Each structure stands twice: as structure tokens, then as C-alpha cells.
Chains A and B, each alone.
Chain A
Amino acid sequence: AQSVTQLDSQVPVFEEAPVELRCNYSSSVSVYLFWYVQYPNQGLQLLLKYLSGSTLVKGINGFEAEFNKSQTSFHLRKPSVHISDTAEYFCAVSETGANNLFFGTGTRLTVIP
């Protein structure tokens, strides 16, 4: 069975500081990995995804994530955050060939001016 763990439920960070949002997963088969962002009262928007190839994935809004197979992690990073990055961030996993996503419980990023 697959599972996704986002250890940090809330992450406050000052504007222009770097941030890392952690995501660990478990699965017995190959997986695809995703990060979604949810702004208040909005739906989810895809930030980036890892399907195969280079383990460093670049997404929108300056975010990137690195797939580490040995540590079963897919941490999200941004070198310098903006106020507009305040949102809920969800890590998601899908087993190859599956038809649905399995989400973590989310990390609420709050950027402090």
C-alpha cells in the first residue's frame, strides 16, 4: 500500500528566505510524484511533477523538487519566497499505471513580511 507523509503541517518563513517543504512516500512499486498548491478557496494547481529522468524537477513560480529514491523523498524547495507563495502545498503520489493520486495531509506555508 502506498502512503505519503508531509511531516510539517505548518511552515512559517520570512519573505525572501529559502524554504523546504518535506515529503516522504512509501510504495512497493514505481511511482510518479507531484506537488500541488492550493490558494485559499481555490482548487489545486500543479506545481511540478516527476515521472522519470532527471531527479531534479523545476516547476512554476520558481519552485523545484528533488526525487531521492533511496530516501523515498520528494522535497519541495524555493530559494526565495514571496508573500504570494502563502498557500497550502500538497505532495501526491501515483503508482505507475494507476488512475488516481494519493495525497499527503498538506503543509501550510505562511510567508511573513
Chain B
Amino acid sequence: GENVEQHPSTLSVQEGDSAVIKCTYSDSASNYFPWYKQELGKRPQLIIDIRSNVGEKKDQRIAVTLNKTAKHFSLHITETQPEDSAVYFCAAMNSGGYQKVTFGTGTKLQVIP
């Protein structure tokens, strides 16, 4: 089955700096890669996603890049703000047949004011 590895497990940055979270996946059939943000005590919520036919996607201060050859994808947050502090999960999915989503183990991001 799919295996998703996520690094780092914790990340501290100064407000205004950039943060990068990296994930690798094992199943070359995976073709959809969402990122979820989970604030303390809350439910995970989708913040951005990318499909395998696209190399990069951007939405304001967040962007995701995908390297299918190397089987890795990354989340980039620029101009970080204290409200970006949360746990971020990457995930990988093969949309063919059953839609099975495999999540990474999460990155706890702390933005220091």
C-alpha cells in the first residue's frame, strides 16, 4: 500500500519568515495530493491540493510543488503569521478505483511573533 513520509515533525519560524514542509510517497499510482491544516483542538481542514498533471499550485501565501519523478511534494508558506501555527498534514491518493487517502504523520508549525 501507499506510504507517506512527512518532515519535519516540528518546525519553528519567526513571524514573516517562510516555512517548508516536505512529503514523499511510495505509490507511483497516486495522483492527488491534498494538504490539511489542523488547529489545536479542531478538525483538519483542506487548505490546498495538487493533482499529478500539475507541477505547482499557489494560493496567496501558500504554494505546493510536486515532483512526480522523485515522488515528493512540498508545502510552502511565505510571510508566516501567528495564525499559521497549527499541525499540517500531507496526504496522497490514487483516484482510480477506491479512493484511499493516506496521510503523513503531521508537522507542528509554530510561528513566533
Chain A partners chain B = no
Interfacial residues, chain A to chain B (CB-CB below 8 A): none
